[in-house]
Chain A
Amino acid sequence: MSTLVIKDLHVAIDGKEILKGVNLTINTNEVHAIMGPNGTGKSTLASAIMGHPKYEVTSGSIELDGEDVLEMEVDERAKAGLFLAMQYPSEINGVTNADFLRSAINARREEGDEISLMKFIRELDKTMAFLEMDEDMAQRYLNEGFSGGEKKRNEILQLMMIKPKIAVLDEIDSGLDIDALKVVSKGINEMRGEGFGCLMITHYQRLLNYITPDKVHVMMQGKVVKSGGAELAQRLEAEGYDWIKQELGIEEEAEQDV
């Protein structure tokens, strides 16, 4: 079993504090959902976990199985077992999806023990078929000219090929039509199990119709303000966030689009 523990995490961007003390514990074999209005710091949390250089952790800790994640470089975090499906994946010209994935897999293996090309292709074909992706996506340049939905599917392809211990999925559902949402959910559900834990960041309850979370957290103004089970998401869907704001005495503020 693996555990990601986030304690009293404070994060600033360009000197402005965005996260104001986040506490979360995610074990493998668990699926957590974080919901919350736009601009409350969900992506900031994801970026801080993965180590984006722009996000400065001012206090608090992140540990994976007792190891200090904040001490690690981005690639070391990935090799330790973390994964982030990004809200806006980069496009990289001239690097094929397949070459990129093979590099990512081989980065986890010792020199001389690289995955054989045959085995790699077999796994890639199988996974792409599972995610109902066109075969030619393997030879296309990484995310270049991909539609929003193709990019999200491609993030899940990477997730399934890389097989991390703990994955953070940042708005993996946004911009997907219902068929694509089903496929993406199928991928995530396939990963579910003993060796895999997941933190899904989402705006909409819709995703949770396909992936039932073990825990749901609500984030507002840089903090996790409420946690519960799957039923919490349903109440949010039915009633919105106002009742939580009232319950906690949170001042109304304009939603920001990020």
Chain B
Amino acid sequence: MTVEMKLAVTANDVRSFSETNSEPAWFTTLRESAFAQAAELAMPKPDKTNITKWDFTTFPSWTVESDQVNALNELPAEVATLVDGESQHNVYVQRNNTPAFHKVSQELTDKGVIFTDIFTAMREHSDLVQKYFMTEAVKVDEHKLTALHAALVNGGVFVYVPRNVVIEEPLQAVFLHDNAEASLFNHVIVVAEESAAVTYVETYVSTVEEAKGQANIVAEVLVGDNAQVTFGAVDVLAKGFTTYVNRRARVGRDGKMDWALGLMSDSNTVSENITHLVGDNGSADSKTVVVGRGEQKQNFTTEIRHWGKDTAGHILKHGVMKDAAQSIFNGIGMIEKGATRSDAQQESRVLMLSEKARGDANPILLIDEDDVTAGHAASVGRVDESQLYYLMSRGISKQEAERLIIHGFLAPVVTQLPIEGVKKQLTEVIERKVR
């Protein structure tokens, strides 16, 4: 079953890269061990999509050098417009594998907040990163792709919000992909300690037409007791990547986790978004919107797993499929024994814009406890005729009516993104993709 790995990187390369990069010893060891495991471990098996023929391991070079900039306006317009100018005080821009621009307010620094690239964080806060790096949310040895990721991390962000610190303004990360040779093994960690609150928004944007590398991305979110994290993401990666993106959270007692994911990449994609509600009374709200086009094949798994009592999990997934795109939407609500009075709800809707497109909504409820509430709604269909008629009866053309209905269908994530520039960009990407 396991595909032979033909990597452009050897164990020696991994060690010497780690040393050159002045990484702490624990991380060099972690990389080496992960690299060895990657060769042995099996591929993940996303439900209902056969990925055995997908190439997750070939890439031209592990890292590429890119220019840094002194100001945002030196970056391509696609990036500059994402940032709400001067009012956005906390921004990290990574260009391919290079931290290209970074600013963080004195106020946050004074409060003990850490918001920096993952390697700086490892050098300056080694213990803290070690505590959270693939220990609580995602594990190195889950499968070949997590191990490969750990071995080859070449970028990412570390966010740490101390106890009782509430950050009003969103932290923004932009991952610019403007070199076709580049591969993205980004690792993001967001930690909100007890009663802390933070909103983090990341955007992946390709400005090259076609990628030659790999995107193997992991984000881990640790939501402490009574803490709140809102995680927004817009992915607009080019075709050519084989994208594996794993965004996972672990939520403590009374904690709250909100996901707003606009998954607009043109690559073949396996995306998983899992939230573990570990403490009592925690809640998670996971919203995902997707547009698939061309020959793209994608698998989106959203799962909320209830361990604590009185936990609430809501999943919303809306996908638009056009051309010959194929997507599977797995939505999983899982209530473990003992998670009494928990509530697992989900809604999956797929809108088909062409004959050849395929979209399957696959809602799953796995319940091991009696005293719970759960429900799901799923639908796959075309644009509603009576809605079209209604809009057209007001003079709106059929084309414009369809456009309004589609944007409305994808609005649940758009409206949730707290940064105007990112919201606008997602709207434009949707516009471009569904046209």
Contact = CB atoms under 8 A, between A and B. Distances in A.
Contacts of B397: 75, 107
B411 interface: yes
Interface string B397-420: 110110011011111100100000
A75 B404 contact: no
Contacts of A103: 391, 394, 396, 400, 404
B168 interface: no
Interface size class of A (residues with CB under 8 A): 20 to 34
A104 interface: yes
Contacts of B384: 90
Interface string A72-88: 01110111000110100
Interface in A52-111: 52-53, 73-75, 77-79, 83-84, 86, 89-90, 92-95, 99-100, 103-104, 107-108
A140 to B, nearest CB: 12
Nearest to B385: A53
Contacts of A99: 404
A162 B393 contact: no
A162 B391 contact: no
A73 B398 CA distance: 9
A83 to B, nearest CB: 8
The residue in A83, A95, A142 that gathers the most chain B C-beta atoms within 10 A of its C-beta is: A95
Contacts of A95: 404-405, 407-408, 411
Contacts of B394: 78, 83, 100, 103-104, 107, 158, 162
Given A89-B390, A99-B404, A94 B411 contact: yes
A9 interface: no
Given A100-B404, A103-B404, A78 B395 contact: yes
Contacts of A94: 407-412, 415
A75 B398 contact: yes
Contact of B392 (A73, A92, A141, A162): A73
B55 to A, nearest CB: 37
B387 to A, nearest CB: 5
B297 to A, nearest CB: 27
Contacts of A141: 408
A92 B401 CA distance: 11
Contact of A84 (B386, B391, B393): B393
A78 B409 contact: no
Contacts of A73: 392, 398
Contacts of A77: 393
The residue in B391, B393, B401, B405 that gathers the most chain A C-beta atoms within 10 A of its C-beta is: B393
A92 B396 contact: no
B26 interface: no
Contacts of A53: 385, 389
Interface in A22-79: 50-53, 73-75, 77-79
Nearest to A90: B390
B396 A107 contact: yes
Contacts of B407: 94-95
A78 B397 CA distance: 10
Nearest to B412: A94
Nearest to A50: B393
Interface in A167-220: none
Contacts of B396: 75, 78, 103-104, 107
Interface string B365-384: 00000000000000000001
Contacts of B387: 90, 92
Contacts of A92: 387, 390-391, 404-405, 408
19 contacts: A50-B389, A52-B389, A74-B392, A75-B392, A75-B396, A75-B398, A78-B393, A78-B394, A78-B396, A86-B393, A90-B391, A94-B415, A95-B404, A95-B411, A104-B394, A107-B394, A142-B408, A158-B394, A162-B394
